[in-house]
Amino acid sequence: MLNVDNQRSSNDPYVTIVVTVLNSADTMRDCLQSLIDIRHKKKNILVVDAFSTDGTWEILQDFKKRFPSIIQLHQMKGPCPVGWNYGINNTNTEYIAFTDADCEVDPGWIAELLKGFKTEGVIAVAGFCGTAKTDSWFQKVVGMELENRFKNFPRFLDRAPTMNLCVKTEYCKKVMFDEKLITSSEVDFGWRLTRLGKMLYSPDARIVHHHRTTWKGFWKQQRNYAKYLFIIYFTRGYGMKSDHISTPKMILQVPILELAILSIPAVFFSWYFALVSLFSVLALTGIYLSDFFHQRMFFRYVLHFIAVSFVRNLAWMVGSIQGMLNVITKKGI
């Protein structure tokens, strides 16, 4: 257990930073170096590796040799919630901060997160997620769309991604992550956590996130997100709802796409369905263009943005169908 005996000797509390990782050799060095460079000195960094095979573990061991008093390493099989829960169970610092292996944090990240706890009733603080300037056009298009959502977050949140989140440890231990949820576990965690207290949004607590680099990776990420989100909605008593991350406009796009696709075979029964499909496609395109110009991206990215939006909608459609079948056939996870 990460134990801190002199925690009460200063007004600055100790913070344990938990990172889970599997095969992230391309980003692990920059992630760890950014955590080492955090100006908040009272920190422990716990990295839980799910037996990486791409050189990640060797990178972690090198950092451990260089910073033995700060970095703790552990290996165990399982998805991210398993690693997060290990981190929660094996620390007694007052706060736990979470970030991902494909993220880099600002030097003042922890200090900005801790400021949020001065607000009465706050038990968790989340920050802003930006896009790395060195990323590819594909990553930038994905990132700029996500940044736009972060820029419009309300002051208090129902949930937040674990790539930029700090929680009072006592509440982490009460809630814990659901290890059955391979992805979207932070959604369920956030909703259960905010039943116990407030989650504040601090836009000055900044990180950058390296998004998926390929269409295949993006497809898999978005499909699994929708699949498990559907399961969470209908097996945990939350009910279908939108929020500051999955906005109403984003959720509306999925049934419009479904209508466009389902109308195509129906053309054999009536040509009116061709008009239904056409108008559905035009409506989707109009939404994509509206979002694109609202985000003020460079015009050269317009086709890329439309393509990324369409793939995300299609992945959400397929994932939600998979989630529905899972609920029907297995009655949950």
| pLDDT digit string, tens, across residues 217-228 | 999 999 998 888
Domains of the chain are 7-213 (3.90.550.10), 235-330 (no CATH)
User: How big is the chain, counted in residues?
Assistant: 333
Contact 282, 244 (CB under 8 A): no
Contact 47, 71 (CB under 8 A): yes
What's the pLDDT at 301? 80
Rg (CA), the chain: 21
pLDDT of 2 > 60? The answer is no
Taking only the tens place, the pLDDT of each residue in 107-140 is: 999 999 999 999 999 999 999 999 888 788 888 8
Amino acid (1-letter code) at residue 307 = A
3-state SS assignment for residue 214: coil
Taking only the tens place, the pLDDT of each residue in 197-236 is: 999 999 999 999 999 889 999 999 999 988 888 888 777 7
For 204, phi then psi, to 5°, come to: -85, -10
CA-based nearest residue to 255, from 325, 327, 314: 314
What's the pLDDT at 4? 46
pTM of the entire structure? 0.88
CA-based nearest residue to 63, from 85, 31, 86, 38: 31
pLDDT of 161 > 70? The answer is yes
Contact 315, 219 (CB under 8 A): yes
What's the pLDDT at 215? 93
pLDDT of 45 > 90? The answer is yes
What's the pLDDT at 240? 62
- At residue 241 the predicted structure's pLDDT band, cuts being 50, 70 and 90, is low
- At residue 242 the predicted structure's pLDDT band, cuts being 50, 70 and 90, is low
The contacts of residue 67 (CB under 8 Å, 6+ apart) are 36, 45
How far is 87 from 78, CA to CA, in rounded Å? 13
